[in-house]
Structures are given as C-alpha cells and as structure tokens.
Amino acid sequence: MKFMYSAILQPQPDGSYTGYFPDLEDCRFAGRNLIEALDEAKEAAGAWIMVELEENDGLPPNTDHDEMHLAPGEFVRDIAVILRLTDGWDE
C-alpha cells in the first residue's frame, strides 16, 4: 500500500537538514545532506505509519500545502512510503 505525506524540511547552517511531518505526531528526521534527510524521512514515516496502523484504526489526513505555515527557509517535499501490509490489509 502506498502512503503519501508532506514533510517540512529545514536547512541547517552546516549543510545538514532536519525535518518533520506536520500530520504525523512527533515524527521527525534528520540527515547530513538533502538526500540522506529524504531517505530518513521515508524511513521515519514508514515506521510511524506501521505503529499507527497496528495500534489505531486509521491515519490522519495529509494537510494541503496551501494550509501549511512555513518558517523562513523551510520547504515542503511529499514523501511516498510503500508498505506491504498483511493480516487482512491486502485482502
């Protein structure tokens, strides 16, 4: 199953990036460069989604980009996470 969530990335003075998913509570990530940060974002979102699906009945909706309030320097990237779900999810 494919899940898509928007991540907000924040460039750091040392060239690294930090970020978070505004719709996934406390789901944060970081990387030494943009590519690594995006890889970490995908991993963090995947883990968050798996836990949420196991513990709850649903996932939060994805906020529209136009509704996001960004600080100076921040930017948005959509992150796609593909998970193979079992135990009744792919029936």
- Cα first-last separation, the chain: 12
CATH node for 2-82: 3.30.160.250
47, 14 contact by CB (below 8 A): no
pLDDT of residue 57: 74
Interstrand relation of 28-31 and 75-82 (parallel, antiparallel or unpaired): unpaired
Element (H, E) at 84: none
**What pLDDT tens digit does each residue of the chain (91 aa) get?**
899 999 999 999 999 999 999 999 999 999 999 999 999 999 999 999 999 988 987 899 999 999 999 999 999 999 999 988 766 554 4
How do the domains of the chain map onto residue ranges? 2-82
Q: What is the pTM of this model?
A: 0.87
Quick one: how far is CA 63 from the chain centroid? 12
pLDDT of residue 90: 46
